[in-house]
Amino acid sequence: MESDVFPASTGGGLSVVMLDITHEKCPMTFVRTRLALDGLVPGSLLAVRLKGEEPRKNVSRSVSGLGHLIVSEQEEADGSIVLTIQKKGGPKTA
């Protein structure tokens, strides 16, 4: 099985880890997001691609509740949403 977590980068030179959970259902959307965040150093960015309003609300609410920062929410042409999350403990980007 291929990994859904892979490194990427932004135009500004920041390193971002990508996580595609479009095939997951709640509560696994948050579980996969939390596991990815746990593996990052404080201040790192995680871009989570997901589908559906329920996963969007649950992941956003849960990561914010843990103290992480939602830097952006971008709707894609295919109906998916990309949440960019900064792991707590590092310098703020927003």
pLDDT of residue 15: 76
User: Over the stretch 21-61, which tens digit does the pLDDT of each residue have?
Assistant: 999 998 899 999 999 999 999 999 999 999 999 999 999 99
Structure tokens at 1: 């099985």
| CA distance linking residue 93 with residue 86, whole number of Å | 8
Structure tokens at 70: 């939602």
pLDDT of residue 56: 94
**Residue 53 near residue 62, CB atoms below 8 Å:** no
| CA distance linking residue 37 with residue 45, whole number of Å | 9
